[in-house]
Structure 1
Amino acid sequence: METLGPLGVGFLVFLDNIFPPIPSELVLPLAGFTSSQGQLNIVAAIICATLGSLIGAIVLWALGKWIGIERIARIAVKMPLVDVDDVHKTVDWFDRHGDKAVFFGRMIPIFRSLISIPAGMRDMRLLKFTLLTTAGSAIWNTILIVAGFYLGENWAIVETYAGYFQKIVIVAVIVLVIVWILLKVRKRRRKKAAGADVTENDHIEPGEFDS
């Protein structure tokens, strides 16, 4: 960490946003501990970590913008159990809660990276996206770095508890997916029993998801 310096911290956080070789929950507390030893400027570490988060998020935002919601929707409706209504509901949810999702998503493992893609797909204004991402990332990065600073040689405790948090998020996602699948299967069976055509809505008109 002493060798990497603040710019190295920022680069590792950038990589964590794109493809996490080393999770920021490990890098940032260690940067805080190194700062407590006088080998790293804590303010520079926070600034560079936040810049790394922002740059990584913008890359994924641009990817989402390039892919576009129409293309994803056409792929989604070809997947088992997914129909146009599901895509509509997802788009509507993001239109209503996108600002909060981008801000708070920066503090949640897994979603920290993924939330940038739908923001790009829905063409969230780059300035708004930048401000929300910077604010959320700055808070999260500061918490982890400062925690590592004050914990000193016990900085690894932060990574341990952050790991618990990540496991909780993963379990919650798995449970939600299982519940969603069960509800969709139940709904399909009811439609079949009623003689409904379960594929009648699986067609997307061009521009259907334009805001």
Structure 2
Amino acid sequence: MEELFFNFINQFGYFAVGALIFIENIFPPIPSELILPLGGFFTTTTNMVLPGVIAAATVGSVLGAYILYGIGWVLNRDRLMRFFETKPMRLLGFKGDDIAKAIDWFDRRGQISVLICRFVPIVRSLISIPAGVARMNMVKFAGYTLLGSAVWNTVLCSLGAAAGSAWETVSEQAEWVSDIVKYVIIALAVVVAIVWIWKRIIPNLKKGA
């Protein structure tokens, strides 16, 4: 994968950086922790300049975020509530009201998470879906996404440029930090799942027995 990215950016420059980050926002397993330091490195060996790489990456980030925002917009509140009111979802402990409460919370207090989550692996992409479901103001969504993505892209691209031929060290360190965050997220998800099973699913099974 690294060689593929290297050749793609070497051949297509800014377009390649933007395209890869666009895809990374839609398909999170593609690591921006690899793409961005690599893009920064190319400013030391080609006629690409750091502001151009950062701009290309940020445009890719915003455009990719809007794809997932659009998916959330299509799903919308009513469709999700109907889905979670189906029998299989109710057996799993879900209720349509859960979705309504989650969306209402996002409207009141959660919109800033669009900015904060741009620094969190995987979540930085997925946060665009609830923003779309909640019909978050598109200008505000763009602003938060632009700001968060620009900061993230600037840091990693700049570190890659500063490291030069040692850009892989930056990538490895960034991936190491991202892995820790991922493990924390997974651990929290497991805890939430256990609590959910204990409080929602088991009581439903007892009622059905």
TM-score range, shorter chain: 0.7 to 0.9
Provide the identity percentage: 39
SS class of match (1:178): helix
1:100 partnered with 2:112: yes
Q: What residue is the counterpart of 2:57 in the other structure?
A: 49
User: Is the 1:107–1:140 Cα contact (8 Å) retained in structure 2?
Assistant: yes
* Count of residues in Structure 1 that have an aligned counterpart in Structure 2: 196
User: Is the 2:43–2:161 Cα contact (8 Å) retained in structure 1?
Assistant: yes
Q: What residue is the counterpart of 2:154 in the other structure?
A: 142
CA distance in structure 2 between the aligned counterparts of 1:182 and 1:21, rounded to whole angstroms: 26
CA distance in structure 2 between the aligned counterparts of 1:167 and 1:9, rounded to whole angstroms: 23
Report the CA distance between 1:9 and its aligned residue.
0.6
CA distance in structure 1 between the aligned counterparts of 2:201 and 2:21, rounded to whole angstroms: 46
TM-score by length of 2: 0.83
1:9 partnered with 2:17: yes
Structure 1 stretches of 4+ with a deviation exceeding 3 A read 188-193
Report the CA distance between 1:74 and its aligned residue.
2.7
Q: What residue is the counterpart of 2:3 in the other structure?
A: none
CA distance in structure 1 between the aligned counterparts of 2:204 and 2:25, rounded to whole angstroms: 43
TM-score by length of 1: 0.82
CA distance in structure 1 between the aligned counterparts of 2:84 and 2:202, rounded to whole angstroms: 22
CA distance in structure 2 between the aligned counterparts of 1:110 and 1:103, rounded to whole angstroms: 14
Q: Which moved more, 1:160-169 or 1:74-83?
A: 74-83
* Structure 1 residues 70 and 30: alpha-carbon distance in aligned structure 2, compared to 1, 3 A threshold: same
- Pick the structure with more helix per residue: 2
Q: Which runs of 5+ in 1 are unaligned?
A: 199-211
* Structure 1 residues 10 and 143: alpha-carbon distance in aligned structure 2, compared to 1, 3 A threshold: same
In the TM superposition, 1:26-105 aligns within 5 A as: 26-77=34-85, 78-79=88-89, 80-105=92-117
